[in-house]
Amino acid sequence: MLAQVLSPRALRAALPAASLVVLLAAIFYIQPRAMSYFGLNLMLQYAVPIALATIAQMFVIAINDLDLSIGPFVGLTASIGATLLASSPVLGVLALIGCVAAYAALGALIHWRNLPSIVVTLGMSFVWLGVAVIILPTPGGTAPGWIKAVMGVKLPYVPFPIVAAAIIALVVHVVLMRSAYGAVLRGAGGNARAIGRAGWSLLKIRMVMYAAAGTFGVLSGLSLIGLTSAADAHIADRYTLYSIAGVILGGGEFVGGRVSPIGAVLGALTLTLTGSFLIFLKISPDWQIGAQGAILIIVLALRALIKRREG
């Protein structure tokens, strides 16, 4: 039993949660007042959009691709949400559906022409940004009231972002990790040829995964304007790197279809909290990105150590 708990696989699965706990403990030690409903709510405010973007990235990484356009895409959907969706809901919904369809089409293109996803999505990131700037040339717009209402829900005892993150993690976990088709989807990342030989359409799998990524990108953009009430084309530019870091922090691997939705959400929470942690440490914002990178390197180094034991 003990051997099982201490096995490298178990340790690896526990690492994302352990990193989060260590970080929380450090924050509470430095700033005990953060250990409250209000404190957690404030610190984790932006966890929901980051977690959703991380999940979007995870779908793409699960089939050995990488999405370098998720940040600008979230910016675009936020811009649509704060303009079209508020002014003419039908048109707004259609536009957002179009965004998801565009993502699925990208997946089809990448599969059909056998293109490197990095190149395609890097190119698309400028397209998304350009469209967002056309829709919303200057920061502004207003988020629809119902989104603000959802994001502003006050739950008893547990802050909303924590509940929302848990729901996101569980739903995606059930769909991707526990469902029968989810096994096929992940299998395509592990050994695409075997999945093809078993009679599954790899084109459809890639389109499903990209459509899922697009859907979560849309949700991320909407949840973001629910918090900020206005949008900006550049509002989520950093999310590309946040989402990749979140997946990797959460125990995912760039290749091989090894991903974990629960881990990815925990990774997103950890990344969100590092910001607050660094503020509590009175580190100037100029250094924050670097410090976040350092935390990422420490966690990845720990994982490499565990992996060495595994091998």
User: Considering the complex, what minimum distance in angstroms separates the CB of residue 300 from other proteins?
Assistant: 19
| 111 is an interface residue for other proteins by CB under 8 A | no
User: Considering the complex, what minimum distance in angstroms separates the CB of residue 130 from other proteins?
Assistant: 35
CA 292 to chain centre: 16
Judged by CB, which is closer to other proteins: 154, or 193?
193
| 20 is an interface residue for other proteins by CB under 8 A | no
What are the backbone dihedrals phi and psi of residue 140, each rounded to the nearest 5 degrees, phi first?
Answer: 160, -145
267's tokens: 């990774």
CA angle 222, 272, 9 (to 5 degrees): 110
Judged by CB, which is closer to other proteins: 196, or 275?
196
Which among 37-45, 100-108, 111-119, 183-191 is the span making contact with other proteins, rule CB under 8 A? Answer: 183-191
Q: Which of 6, 9, 22, 152 forms a contact with other proteins (CB under 8 A)?
A: 9
| 118 is an interface residue for other proteins by CB under 8 A | no
Q: For residue 109, with 0-12 CB atoms within 10 Å meaning exposed, 13-18 middle and 19 or more buried, which class applies?
A: middle
User: Considering the complex, what minimum distance in angstroms separates the CB of residue 85 from other proteins?
Assistant: 36
| 308 is an interface residue for other proteins by CB under 8 A | no
Smallest CA-to-CA distance from 103 within 219, 239, 211, 215 is with 211
Smallest CA-to-CA distance from 176 within 197, 202, 196, 205 is with 205
- State the Cα–Cα distance between residues 59 and 173, nearest whole angstrom: 12
What are the backbone dihedrals phi and psi of residue 116, each rounded to the nearest 5 degrees, phi first?
Answer: -70, 125
Q: Which of 113, 154, 193, 308 forms a contact with other proteins (CB under 8 A)?
A: 193
Let me know: does 135 contact 83? Beta carbons within 8 Å.
yes
Judged by CB, which is closer to other proteins: 165, or 192?
192
What residues numbered 240-269 form the site for other proteins, per CB under 8 A? 256-258
Binding site for other proteins (CB under 8 A): 9, 178, 180-181, 183-184, 186-187, 189-191, 193-200, 256-258
